[in-house]
Structure 1
Amino acid sequence: MSTIPLVVRHAGKKYDVEVDLDQPGEVFKFQLYSLTGVDPERQKILVKGGQLKDDADLKTLGLKPNQILMMLGTVGELPKEPVGKMTFVEDMTDRELAQTMKTPVGLVNLGNTCYLNSSLQCLRVMPELAEDLDTLPPTGSSGGTLFAGSQPSDLAKRLRDMYHDMKNQTTALQPLVLLNTLRMVYPQFAEQGEHGRYKQQDAEEAFTQILSALNQSLTTAHPSSPSFIDSYMSGEFSTSMRCAETDAEPEITGTEKFSKLVCHITGDTNFLSDGLQKSLLETIEKNSDVLGRNAQFTLTKQIVRLPKYLVVHFMRFYWRRDTQKKSKILRKVTFPFELDVTDLCAPELKTKLVAVRDKVRDLRKAREEQVRAVKRARTKLADASGESSSTSAASASASDEYESEISRLEKEVEEAVDPTLKGDKTLNSTGLYELIGVITHSGKSADSGHYQFWCKQEIEESQDAAASTAGTKAVTVGTTTQKEEPKWWRFNDDKVTVVDQSKIETMMGGGESDSALILLYRSVSF
């Protein structure tokens, strides 16, 4: 008997199989049936030359030890005629439509409230926040009643209720209750101008104040465990303060929490990394015990804890005394879709991150090569024959060439993660972040103009959007779908549309059009 070991991939899993080459293909299929539960008649095993047939002579297929084969097919009976009555879109309730349709819900502008709408949409991108909010006590019998003594906890509950409502409707929502609660908790957002109209506000201030209220509420509700903000969004600096005028003054060291990184914009700031580096090195004036007077001190910060979500704030607004307004810095500052923050970290943390960061990049490169190889094989064979079965076989063959390398790199990435970071889903273990959200501002000052939010679509969302967008394609390899061009949701108050990622590249600044004010990054997954 001549047997060889093979690896079969199915539904994201790998199965090790000892195959007898003297037996026909049908026997091999029954082996897989015992492992996967997929009936042999439903199995499609991709081998050289097309699909494996029941009477195939395995010895003629050129199979090699530990070769990876792809199997398609689902467990269970073949689909039957639906028992229930078909439901048409026009007959669905709002709740059913919301669960069926993929387009997210917008928020109505209630009069200069785009700053709030963009902030609320940005916070909604992080599902762990909604899960944490769901642990708060019920809103109570007051329902929509508003009280002058509203507390941060009221704001948190209103946000939770609003997110629930957004899940179950397809039309834009009016966040009136939450808006009024915000104005009661933080009166600066209730400031009115001429003719009694509410003034435009700074989205970054609203974003920060809402986070503060949520953190206070969640911490109070669950004092024994850290809140979402403290665990998923908070980092930590190590700090060192030295006197720039004398070495006799002792160095002062310590730690400091942060909820965002700040990008300072000056005349020589061209890239996000430039502004972030400047924010970690400050000159301050304070009393020197040695000199007996005020002196210049240098404060240096280094990151010692990286959270899963990283907020970056562009300091685009400054106070102008002549106009008595918060004016806008229009300078262009380039920001990346993938942010590497290892150079901002303390040496000990940087050492832990660099090894796994490099492995992740190698793994990503191998996956991209696999996608390109599959696409080339499919295109070449389709152009030559136009046969879908041959095209699938060619795709599988091209994919198999990279499977062993990808499997090896996946294992190396897992092994490279430092034990102190492994298993903690609230931390970043690679030093790499992907951009998933942008709050932009158009106009000259924080007191005017317009705010919008832009959110990167996930793979499933992007496929649905691509189905109705000309020129967008997807390439499937095994169970993983790779997008050729990422798509983003544009939240312009109640109007929600789809844009190409190239649109985000225009938000670097340089004019009064949409400029990035807040960037939301998420730890790169592998």
Structure 2
Amino acid sequence: MSTSYQVKVKWGKELYPDIELNTDEPPMVFKAQLFALTGVQPHRQKIMLKGATIKEDSWDGLKLKNLELPVGIKNLGNTCYLNAVVQCLKTVPELHKSIKEFKPKKTDSSASGGSGVASAMTMVEVDSGSLLTLAIQDCYRTIDSGKTAIPLVLVNLFRSTFPRFAEQGEQGMYMQQDASECWTELMRLLQQEVPAIDKEKTVKNFSSSLIDQFFCGEYSCEWKCVENEEEEVTHTTDKFQQLMCHITQDVKYLHTGLVARMQENITKKSAALDRDAVYTKKSKISRLPAYLAVEMVRFFYKEKEAVNAKILKDVKFPMVLDVFDLCTPELQKKLAPIRAKYKDMEERQLEEERAKKRGKPLSPSEKPKTKSLPFSFEDDFGSNNSGFYQLQAVLTHQGRSSSSGHYVGWVRWRGGEWLKCDDDEVTPVTEEDILKLSGGGDWHCAYILLYGPRILEMLDEEGKEEGKPAQEAKMETE
């Protein structure tokens, strides 16, 4: 039975949520944690739990409840790919909220014949896309209520809407499917169903839906004919919903794979030569979405075995991703002012870490008050205004082909805490566990990475409070 608990600690006006308390360790270890947070020496701490004072050397007499973790989604027979996608998308608060508030589009068809009253009656019909979105809504509402979701309606509607996911094997059982293909289909569906938020504040080309606002970026592309130096260079723009990281022998890091993808050779018809010719296509990002999905291209088709074989190679990915150098010079210029402010935040956080290592952590009264700044440009709601992203979900695959094995969603929960969502089994994991998902063997390998905006915390001079730490602190836990 678990002996680790999450407790809230209140000290004066300060509230510290989600502090770990392990009853396998002596109370002094817990007090040392509080010292690191508050600066109050352990021997000056008086800790109260539901009216009882914690003893110096034991936890005797204390009644604690285990940490209640979020719940998962039941596997209905090779549906882990769908469960993992649904869990990863749930980490986007704007999408989560919009799906929970979703109201279906209605199509009215007048009944014909009969009396005047009867002819005025209408039949309300809901299309399959709206029904499927409602099924996701029901799944989210069930999870949020603390009950395990049993997605019978969701799975049946998904298979009927997209028949290729209803493939059955020789024994009549539904077969495993590719989570990336599932991700793509669900995003297309939600793009049609979920309306934009504050549409008037968004760039016109990205205001048709919430998916366009928060997940779609834009490339500025330059085309040059390799076989005809005299042919004029042309420029185009392309939308994207995710970046691709092709895994080659030279790719050891995510960023390297992303950079390599920005230049490629493509064969297409040359009007000047009146035949197919090779062109160099150079792409730069001209619009960054708030949420950036990155697919690790781990599968390739093996004709001999007729399967999508897997590339197991280890490719490291960061918790904080910087895509500044993938952007156009024009966008880089727009990103620069906000990026400069991150340096102040990083220096402030570094100083706090140094103080902890010196054994003199800043007390709450000594820490400056901060406020979160918007992550989008004022004239483009749903964009990213810095080029910095924080990892918030990882969809992994374990196995040797995309149509077999097992898919799992790993999601950021609270701050630096993570959860492993293995169907209906949800367990806490650490950042170190997440970084081990980079591949290199038969363990879970990152297949889709979902990065969200890295929030900028700036000094809030108006909210700063003056005060001195108490000589003896009374702390209450719950």
> What TM-score, normalized by structure 2, do the two folds share?
0.72
Instruction: Determine the structure 2 residue equivalent to 1:363.
Output: 345
Q: How does 1:337-348 map to 2 (within 5 A)?
A: 337-348=319-330
1:222, distance to aligned residue in structure 2 (A): 11
Is 1:218 equivalent to 2:194 in the alignment? yes
Cα 1:228–1:323 shift into 2, 3 Å: same
Is the contact between residue 139 and residue 157 of structure 1 (CA under 8 Å) also seen in structure 2?
no
Secondary structure in 1 matching 2:269:
strand
Q: Distance in 2 between matches of 1:351 and 1:181?
A: 46
Q: How does 1:175-254 map to 2 (within 5 A)?
A: 175-219=151-195, 226-254=208-236
The amino acid of 1:216's aligned partner reads Q
Instruction: Determine the structure 2 residue equivalent to 1:130.
Output: 96
Cα 1:333–1:220 shift into 2, 3 Å: closer
Q: Distance in 2 between matches of 1:135 and 1:163?
A: 11
Q: How does 1:461-472 map to 2 (within 5 A)?
A: none
Is the contact between residue 374 and residue 396 of structure 1 (CA under 8 Å) also seen in structure 2?
no
Instruction: Determine the structure 1 residue equivalent to 2:406.
Output: 450
Q: Distance in 2 between matches of 1:174 and 1:116?
A: 12
Pairing partner for 2:263 from 271, 281, 297: 281
Instruction: Determine the structure 2 residue equivalent to 1:352.
Output: 334
Cα 1:292–1:396 shift into 2, 3 Å: closer
Instruction: Determine the structure 2 residue equivalent to 1:60.
Output: none
Q: How does 1:144-163 map to 2 (within 5 A)?
A: 151-163=128-140
Most deviating of 245-254 and 180-189: 245-254
The C-alpha deviation readout for 1:292-339, integer Å capped at 9, x for no partner, is: 211101111110111111000000011110000000011111111110
1:457, distance to aligned residue in structure 2 (A): 2.2
Is 1:164 equivalent to 2:94 in the alignment? no
Q: Distance in 2 between matches of 1:221 and 1:487?
A: 29
Q: Distance in 2 between matches of 1:11 and 1:228?
A: 37
Is 1:519 equivalent to 2:449 in the alignment? yes
Cα 1:396–1:377 shift into 2, 3 Å: farther
Pairing partner for 2:281 from 295, 299, 305: 299
Note the aligned Cα RMSD (angstroms). 3.4
Cα 1:211–1:396 shift into 2, 3 Å: closer
The amino acid of 2:97's aligned partner reads E
Instruction: Determine the structure 1 residue equivalent to 2:53.
Output: none
The amino acid of 2:162's aligned partner reads Y
4+ aligned runs moved over 4 Å, structure 1: 219-225
The amino acid of 2:395's aligned partner reads I
Instruction: Determine the structure 1 residue equivalent to 2:377.
Output: 421
Q: Distance in 2 between matches of 1:221 and 1:138?
A: 16
The C-alpha deviation readout for 1:141-168, integer Å capped at 9, x for no partner, is: xxxxxxxx96222211211122112212
Q: Distance in 2 between matches of 1:49 and 1:130?
A: 40
Q: Distance in 2 between matches of 1:344 and 1:376?
A: 39
The C-alpha deviation readout for 1:468-509, integer Å capped at 9, x for no partner, is: xxxxxxxxxxxxxxxxxx331001111000111111111111
Secondary structure in 2 matching 1:365:
helix
Instruction: Determine the structure 2 residue equivalent to 1:118.
Output: 84
The amino acid of 2:254's aligned partner reads L
The amino acid of 1:395's aligned partner reads S
More helix by share: 1
The amino acid of 1:232's aligned partner reads F
Instruction: Determine the structure 2 residue equivalent to 1:108.
Output: 74
Q: Distance in 1 between matches of 2:453 and 2:280?
A: 31
Most deviating of 356-365 and 441-450: 356-365
Cα 1:163–1:288 shift into 2, 3 Å: same
More strand by share: 2
The C-alpha deviation readout for 1:390-441, integer Å capped at 9, x for no partner, is: xxxx7368x36xx4xx88xx8xx97xx99x9247551211110010100000
Is 1:505 equivalent to 2:473 in the alignment? no
Q: Distance in 2 between matches of 1:396 and 1:130?
A: 33
Is the contact between residue 374 and residue 395 of structure 1 (CA under 8 Å) also seen in structure 2?
no
The amino acid of 1:286's aligned partner reads K
Secondary structure in 2 matching 1:105:
coil
Alignment gaps of 5+ in structure 2: 1-12, 16-38, 42-49, 51-62, 107-125, 201-206, 457-478
Q: Distance in 2 between matches of 1:220 and 1:314?
A: 28
Is the contact between residue 77 and residue 174 of structure 2 (CA under 8 Å) also seen in structure 1?
yes
Is 1:331 equivalent to 2:313 in the alignment? yes
The amino acid of 2:313's aligned partner reads R
1:284, distance to aligned residue in structure 2 (A): 0.9
Alignment gaps of 5+ in structure 1: 1-9, 13-47, 51-78, 80-88, 90-96, 141-148, 380-393, 460-485
Is the contact between residue 91 and residue 412 of structure 2 (CA under 8 Å) also seen in structure 1?
no
- The structure with the largest alpha-carbon Rg is 1
The amino acid of 1:126's aligned partner reads V
Identical amino acids, percent of aligned pairs: 38
Secondary structure in 2 matching 1:268:
coil
Instruction: Determine the structure 2 residue equivalent to 1:146.
Output: none
> What TM-score, normalized by structure 1, do the two folds share?
0.66
Secondary structure in 2 matching 1:427:
coil
The amino acid of 2:292's aligned partner reads L
Is the contact between residue 422 and residue 429 of structure 1 (CA under 8 Å) also seen in structure 2?
no
Cα 1:288–1:200 shift into 2, 3 Å: same
Instruction: Determine the structure 1 residue equivalent to 2:391.
Output: 435
Is 1:395 equivalent to 2:363 in the alignment? yes
Q: Distance in 2 between matches of 1:501 and 1:423?
A: 35
Is the contact between residue 132 and residue 227 of structure 1 (CA under 8 Å) also seen in structure 2?
no
Q: Distance in 2 between matches of 1:202 and 1:284?
A: 27
Is the contact between residue 417 and residue 428 of structure 2 (CA under 8 Å) also seen in structure 1?
yes
Most deviating of 338-347 and 273-282: 273-282
Secondary structure in 2 matching 1:152:
helix
Count of aligned residue pairs for this structure pair:
377
Cα 1:329–1:217 shift into 2, 3 Å: same
The amino acid of 2:269's aligned partner reads N
